[in-house]
Amino acid sequence: MEKAKSKACCTLDLNTEEQTRMIHISKALGNPIRFEILKFLLTHPGCITGDIVKYLPIAQATTSQHLKVLKECRLIEGEIEGTKSCYWLNEQTLLWYKSKIAEIF
Amino acid sequence: MEKAKSKACCTLDLNTEEQTRMIHISKALGNPIRFEILKFLLTHPGCITGDIVKYLPIAQATTSQHLKVLKECRLIEGEIEGTKSCYWLNEQTLLWYKSKIAEIF
DNA sequence: ATATTATATCGTATAAATACGATATAAAGG
DNA sequence: CCTTTATATCGTATTTATACGATATAATAT
């Protein structure tokens, strides 16, 4: 059985890169641990990994992995200070996401 | 090794149900096929499952599964009309998500 | 130099998501 | 009544996500 993709008469024209970015950010937001990290950073900007690890009910390795996901989609930014890593929300990304969601839907 | 969850001094107080809903909606948005379905419904409100199936590069069963996910988090609404099913975006959910995201972040 | 501390990454087990074909269901048409 | 059509659900294979302990890395302290 072959599947021919029919072109819709009037599909929404959204930049592919932008759409991919929207989906990545949504996926990152769609996990309870990562959502909790973002909320924590909201009230504790510039805190270190250790603070987040202490706050969360999961292992250090897993927390680090989640931070990586959030960094990759640029929802957060990090900076190494000596042996520690500080993290903040990336306001620009949040603004972009909010405005894009509002623009599309 | 025991893990004691330390209470942060000033965590963001967000209703648990609302947060769970935010996460579910975000997760639903965080998939390329589902994102495509939502975009399609934006330009084709009230269309039937078959239209969406024709438009997407995936099987009917998989499409139906994705529609179920979107229905479950109330991003879309459906109505059975004879042997067909019509679908629309749920504007209320979209409005709620946008305003809540803006409120939190 | 060595030990400690903070964090990231590796390897891997388990769980969840995604995909498909086959089948069930239920309305509509012959 | 039987057939067709549209869709949903079942069973299941495969992929991706999530979790952990162990280890690597790199700065700081002793």
- Which domains does chain B show, CATH number per domain? 17-96 (1.10.10.10)
Compute the average pLDDT of residues B25-31: 98
In chain A, which residue's Cα lies nearest the Cα of B57?
A5
Distance from CA of A8 to the nearest CA of B (A): 7
pLDDT at A87 over 70: yes
Instruction: Specify burial of residue A14 (Cβ count, 10 A radius: 0-12, 13-18, 19+).
Output: middle
The model's confidence at residue A1, banded by pLDDT at 50, 70 and 90, is very low
Q: Rounded to 5 degrees, what angle do the CA atoms B61, A25, B86 make?
A: 35
pLDDT at B87 over 70: yes
Q: What is the structure's pLDDT at A6?
A: 47
How many C-beta neighbours within 10 Å does residue B89 have?
19
Interval A12-68: pLDDT, tens: 667 899 999 999 999 999 999 999 999 999 999 999 999 999 999 999 999 999 999
Torsion angle, alpha carbons of B56, B57, B63, B67, to 10: -40
Instruction: Specify burial of residue B17 (Cβ count, 10 A radius: 0-12, 13-18, 19+).
Output: exposed
The nucleotide minimizing the C1' distance to residue B54's CA is: D6
The model's confidence at residue B14, banded by pLDDT at 50, 70 and 90, is confident
DSSP state of B99: H
Torsion angle, alpha carbons of B33, B72, A29, A32, to 10: -140
User: CA–CA separation, A76 vs A65, rounded Å?
Assistant: 13
Interval B63-79: pLDDT, tens: 999 999 999 999 999 99
The residue count for chain B? 105
DSSP state of B10: T
Q: What is the structure's pLDDT at A14?
A: 78
Q: What is the structure's pLDDT at B10?
A: 55
Amino acid at B29: L
8 Å CB contact of A105 and B42: yes
Q: Is residue A71 within 8 Å of A77, Cβ to Cβ?
A: yes
8 Å CB contact of B3 and A104: no
Residue A84: which of A29, A47, A32 has the closest Cα? A47
Within 8 A of B102 by CB-CB distance, chain A residues are 98
